[in-house]
Amino acid sequence: MDGRITSLDIEEYPNTEVQKNQVLTLEEWQDKWVNRNTAFHQEQGHQLLKKHLDTFLKGESGLRVFFPLCGKAVEMKWFADRGHSVIGVEISELGIREFFTEQNLSYSEEPITEIPGAKVFKSSSGNISLYCCSIFDLPRTNIGKFDRIWDRGALVAINPGDRKCYADIMSSLLGKKFQYLVCVLSYDPTKHPGPPFYVPQAEIERLFGKICNIHCLEKVDAFEERHKSWGIDYLFEKLYLLTEK
Protein backbone atom coordinates (compact mmCIF):
# COMPACT_ATOMS: atom_id res chain seq x y z
CA MET A 1 0.00 0.00 0.00
CA ASP A 2 1.21 3.52 -0.75
CA GLY A 3 -0.57 5.05 2.22
CA ARG A 4 -3.05 7.01 0.15
CA ILE A 5 -6.61 7.45 1.32
CA THR A 6 -9.09 4.89 0.01
CA SER A 7 -12.80 5.25 -0.57
CA LEU A 8 -13.46 3.49 2.72
CA ASP A 9 -11.72 6.29 4.63
CA ILE A 10 -13.24 9.40 3.15
CA GLU A 11 -16.57 11.10 3.52
CA GLU A 12 -17.53 14.04 1.34
CA TYR A 13 -15.66 17.18 2.30
CA PRO A 14 -17.83 19.27 4.62
CA ASN A 15 -16.88 22.73 3.33
CA THR A 16 -18.72 23.17 0.05
CA GLU A 17 -18.33 26.96 0.05
CA VAL A 18 -14.57 27.17 -0.30
CA GLN A 19 -14.61 27.29 -4.13
CA LYS A 20 -17.78 29.34 -4.54
CA ASN A 21 -16.04 32.47 -5.85
CA GLN A 22 -13.75 30.68 -8.31
CA VAL A 23 -14.21 31.89 -11.89
CA LEU A 24 -12.74 30.84 -15.21
CA THR A 25 -13.65 32.93 -18.25
CA LEU A 26 -14.61 31.52 -21.64
CA GLU A 27 -11.37 33.00 -23.00
CA GLU A 28 -9.38 31.03 -20.43
CA TRP A 29 -11.11 27.82 -21.52
CA GLN A 30 -10.34 28.61 -25.16
CA ASP A 31 -6.71 29.21 -24.20
CA LYS A 32 -6.55 25.73 -22.67
CA TRP A 33 -7.25 24.28 -26.12
CA VAL A 34 -4.80 26.58 -27.86
CA ASN A 35 -2.07 25.74 -25.32
CA ARG A 36 -2.86 22.01 -25.31
CA ASN A 37 -3.76 22.11 -21.63
CA THR A 38 -6.45 19.48 -22.16
CA ALA A 39 -5.54 16.64 -19.85
CA PHE A 40 -9.29 16.32 -19.21
CA HIS A 41 -9.74 14.79 -22.69
CA GLN A 42 -9.91 10.98 -22.62
CA GLU A 43 -8.68 9.49 -25.88
CA GLN A 44 -10.12 6.06 -25.12
CA GLY A 45 -13.47 7.37 -23.95
CA HIS A 46 -14.90 7.19 -20.47
CA GLN A 47 -14.70 3.76 -18.91
CA LEU A 48 -17.66 4.26 -16.56
CA LEU A 49 -19.86 5.25 -19.49
CA LYS A 50 -18.69 2.19 -21.38
CA LYS A 51 -19.51 0.01 -18.37
CA HIS A 52 -22.98 1.49 -17.84
CA LEU A 53 -23.87 2.09 -21.49
CA ASP A 54 -26.63 -0.53 -21.59
CA THR A 55 -28.22 0.93 -18.45
CA PHE A 56 -28.04 4.35 -20.05
CA LEU A 57 -29.49 3.42 -23.44
CA LYS A 58 -32.00 0.81 -22.23
CA GLY A 59 -31.96 -0.83 -25.65
CA GLU A 60 -33.69 2.14 -27.26
CA SER A 61 -32.84 3.40 -30.74
CA GLY A 62 -32.95 6.78 -32.44
CA LEU A 63 -32.32 8.75 -29.25
CA ARG A 64 -31.35 12.43 -29.05
CA VAL A 65 -28.21 12.60 -26.91
CA PHE A 66 -26.81 15.86 -25.54
CA PHE A 67 -23.16 16.48 -24.65
CA PRO A 68 -22.74 19.72 -22.66
CA LEU A 69 -19.22 21.21 -22.87
CA CYS A 70 -18.38 18.36 -25.21
CA GLY A 71 -14.81 19.20 -26.22
CA LYS A 72 -13.76 16.49 -28.67
CA ALA A 73 -15.24 13.61 -26.67
CA VAL A 74 -14.85 10.36 -28.60
CA GLU A 75 -18.07 9.08 -27.01
CA MET A 76 -20.02 11.30 -29.39
CA LYS A 77 -19.04 8.98 -32.21
CA TRP A 78 -19.99 5.94 -30.11
CA PHE A 79 -23.57 7.16 -29.97
CA ALA A 80 -23.68 8.31 -33.58
CA ASP A 81 -22.38 4.92 -34.74
CA ARG A 82 -25.26 3.30 -32.84
CA GLY A 83 -27.76 5.34 -34.80
CA HIS A 84 -28.44 8.05 -32.26
CA SER A 85 -28.52 11.79 -32.90
CA VAL A 86 -25.77 13.66 -31.06
CA ILE A 87 -25.84 17.35 -30.20
CA GLY A 88 -23.01 19.00 -28.31
CA VAL A 89 -22.06 22.49 -27.20
CA GLU A 90 -18.46 23.67 -26.83
CA ILE A 91 -16.88 27.11 -26.60
CA SER A 92 -13.68 26.06 -28.39
CA GLU A 93 -13.92 25.96 -32.18
CA LEU A 94 -10.51 24.29 -32.14
CA GLY A 95 -11.84 21.44 -30.01
CA ILE A 96 -14.81 20.94 -32.33
CA ARG A 97 -12.68 20.90 -35.48
CA GLU A 98 -10.27 18.44 -33.87
CA PHE A 99 -13.17 16.12 -33.09
CA PHE A 100 -14.24 15.86 -36.71
CA THR A 101 -10.66 15.57 -37.94
CA GLU A 102 -9.62 12.90 -35.44
CA GLN A 103 -12.79 10.87 -36.06
CA ASN A 104 -12.30 11.15 -39.85
CA LEU A 105 -15.69 12.77 -40.29
CA SER A 106 -16.45 15.32 -42.99
CA TYR A 107 -18.51 18.27 -41.83
CA SER A 108 -20.00 21.60 -42.74
CA GLU A 109 -20.38 24.77 -40.73
CA GLU A 110 -22.95 27.51 -40.66
CA PRO A 111 -23.71 30.53 -38.50
CA ILE A 112 -26.23 30.33 -35.68
CA THR A 113 -28.52 33.20 -36.51
CA GLU A 114 -29.84 33.57 -32.96
CA ILE A 115 -26.33 34.00 -31.49
CA PRO A 116 -24.10 36.57 -33.22
CA GLY A 117 -20.65 35.13 -33.95
CA ALA A 118 -21.61 31.56 -33.07
CA LYS A 119 -21.50 28.58 -35.44
CA VAL A 120 -22.87 25.08 -35.65
CA PHE A 121 -20.73 22.28 -37.11
CA LYS A 122 -22.60 19.34 -38.65
CA SER A 123 -21.31 15.97 -39.76
CA SER A 124 -22.05 15.13 -43.39
CA SER A 125 -24.03 12.13 -42.15
CA GLY A 126 -26.28 14.58 -40.32
CA ASN A 127 -26.33 12.84 -36.96
CA ILE A 128 -23.74 14.96 -35.12
CA SER A 129 -24.26 18.70 -34.60
CA LEU A 130 -21.86 20.66 -32.43
CA TYR A 131 -22.72 24.20 -31.40
CA CYS A 132 -19.76 26.51 -30.88
CA CYS A 133 -21.05 28.97 -28.29
CA SER A 134 -21.50 29.46 -24.58
CA ILE A 135 -23.90 26.96 -23.07
CA PHE A 136 -25.65 29.91 -21.43
CA ASP A 137 -26.57 31.21 -24.90
CA LEU A 138 -27.87 27.83 -26.06
CA PRO A 139 -31.53 28.35 -25.02
CA ARG A 140 -31.80 31.03 -27.72
CA THR A 141 -31.40 28.36 -30.43
CA ASN A 142 -34.59 26.36 -29.79
CA ILE A 143 -32.50 23.21 -29.67
CA GLY A 144 -35.33 20.98 -28.45
CA LYS A 145 -35.55 18.23 -25.84
CA PHE A 146 -33.24 15.28 -25.24
CA ASP A 147 -33.70 11.64 -24.30
CA ARG A 148 -30.21 11.31 -22.85
CA ILE A 149 -27.58 13.65 -21.44
CA TRP A 150 -23.95 12.66 -20.84
CA ASP A 151 -22.43 15.22 -18.48
CA ARG A 152 -18.77 14.51 -17.96
CA GLY A 153 -16.42 17.43 -17.48
CA ALA A 154 -19.33 19.85 -17.66
CA LEU A 155 -20.99 20.32 -14.27
CA VAL A 156 -17.52 20.10 -12.70
CA ALA A 157 -16.21 22.80 -15.08
CA ILE A 158 -19.01 25.33 -14.67
CA ASN A 159 -18.08 28.19 -12.34
CA PRO A 160 -19.70 27.36 -8.98
CA GLY A 161 -21.63 30.62 -9.00
CA ASP A 162 -23.20 29.67 -12.34
CA ARG A 163 -24.35 26.17 -11.42
CA LYS A 164 -27.98 27.08 -10.72
CA CYS A 165 -28.29 28.75 -14.12
CA TYR A 166 -26.59 25.75 -15.74
CA ALA A 167 -28.91 23.30 -13.97
CA ASP A 168 -31.96 25.30 -15.06
CA ILE A 169 -30.81 25.10 -18.68
CA MET A 170 -30.13 21.37 -18.43
CA SER A 171 -33.51 20.78 -16.80
CA SER A 172 -35.21 22.65 -19.63
CA LEU A 173 -33.62 20.27 -22.15
CA LEU A 174 -34.91 17.07 -20.54
CA GLY A 175 -37.49 15.12 -22.52
CA LYS A 176 -39.97 12.54 -21.27
CA LYS A 177 -38.43 9.47 -19.60
CA PHE A 178 -34.96 11.02 -19.80
CA GLN A 179 -31.78 9.45 -18.51
CA TYR A 180 -29.12 11.95 -17.39
CA LEU A 181 -25.68 10.61 -16.47
CA VAL A 182 -23.40 13.01 -14.63
CA CYS A 183 -19.83 12.47 -13.45
CA VAL A 184 -18.50 14.51 -10.54
CA LEU A 185 -15.26 14.56 -8.58
CA SER A 186 -14.56 14.33 -4.86
CA TYR A 187 -11.36 15.74 -3.38
CA ASP A 188 -10.29 18.22 -0.71
CA PRO A 189 -11.32 21.60 -2.22
CA THR A 190 -9.18 23.51 0.29
CA LYS A 191 -6.10 22.12 -1.49
CA HIS A 192 -7.08 22.69 -5.14
CA PRO A 193 -9.07 25.68 -6.41
CA GLY A 194 -10.42 23.94 -9.51
CA PRO A 195 -11.45 23.44 -12.20
CA PRO A 196 -12.50 20.71 -12.18
CA PHE A 197 -14.52 21.81 -9.18
CA TYR A 198 -15.60 19.69 -6.27
CA VAL A 199 -19.30 18.79 -6.54
CA PRO A 200 -20.75 16.84 -3.59
CA GLN A 201 -23.95 14.82 -3.77
CA ALA A 202 -25.78 17.47 -1.75
CA GLU A 203 -25.10 19.94 -4.55
CA ILE A 204 -26.54 17.59 -7.17
CA GLU A 205 -29.61 17.18 -4.98
CA ARG A 206 -29.90 20.97 -4.57
CA LEU A 207 -29.66 21.53 -8.31
CA PHE A 208 -31.76 18.66 -9.62
CA GLY A 209 -33.55 17.03 -6.70
CA LYS A 210 -36.92 18.69 -7.29
CA ILE A 211 -37.39 17.12 -10.71
CA CYS A 212 -35.02 14.13 -10.71
CA ASN A 213 -34.51 10.89 -8.87
CA ILE A 214 -30.77 10.73 -8.15
CA HIS A 215 -28.89 7.45 -7.88
CA CYS A 216 -25.15 6.95 -7.49
CA LEU A 217 -24.21 4.11 -9.84
CA GLU A 218 -20.54 3.88 -8.97
CA LYS A 219 -17.63 5.50 -7.20
CA VAL A 220 -14.06 4.87 -8.36
CA ASP A 221 -10.59 5.96 -7.36
CA ALA A 222 -9.53 8.34 -10.15
CA PHE A 223 -6.25 9.57 -8.63
CA GLU A 224 -3.34 9.73 -11.08
CA GLU A 225 0.25 10.87 -10.77
CA ARG A 226 -0.59 14.21 -12.44
CA HIS A 227 -3.05 15.04 -9.68
CA LYS A 228 -0.21 15.38 -7.17
CA SER A 229 0.54 18.74 -8.78
CA TRP A 230 -2.91 19.89 -7.68
CA GLY A 231 -1.80 19.48 -4.08
CA ILE A 232 -4.36 16.76 -3.36
CA ASP A 233 -3.80 13.20 -2.19
CA TYR A 234 -7.10 11.62 -3.18
CA LEU A 235 -9.57 11.97 -6.03
CA PHE A 236 -12.73 9.97 -6.56
CA GLU A 237 -15.04 10.03 -9.52
CA LYS A 238 -18.72 9.41 -8.93
CA LEU A 239 -21.27 8.52 -11.59
CA TYR A 240 -24.86 9.51 -10.95
CA LEU A 241 -27.97 8.58 -12.89
CA LEU A 242 -30.74 11.18 -12.87
CA THR A 243 -34.20 10.05 -13.96
CA GLU A 244 -37.67 11.51 -14.12
CA LYS A 245 -39.54 11.82 -10.83
Q: Which residues are annotated as a binding site for S-adenosyl-L-methionine?
A: 29-40, 69, 90, 134-135, 152
Question: What is the full DSSP assignment across the chain?
Answer: ------TTT-PPPS--STTTT----HHHHHHHHHTT--TT--TT--HHHHHTHHHHHTT--S-EEEETT-TT-THHHHHHHTT-EEEEEES-HHHHHHHHHHTT--EEEEE-TTSTT-EEEEETTSSEEEEES-GGGGGGG----EEEEEESSSTTTS-GGGHHHHHHHHHHTEEEEEEEEEEEEES-TTT---SSPB--HHHHHHHHTTTEEEEEEEEEE---GGGGGGT-S--EEEEEEEEE-
Binding residues are: 29-40, 69, 90, 134-135, 152
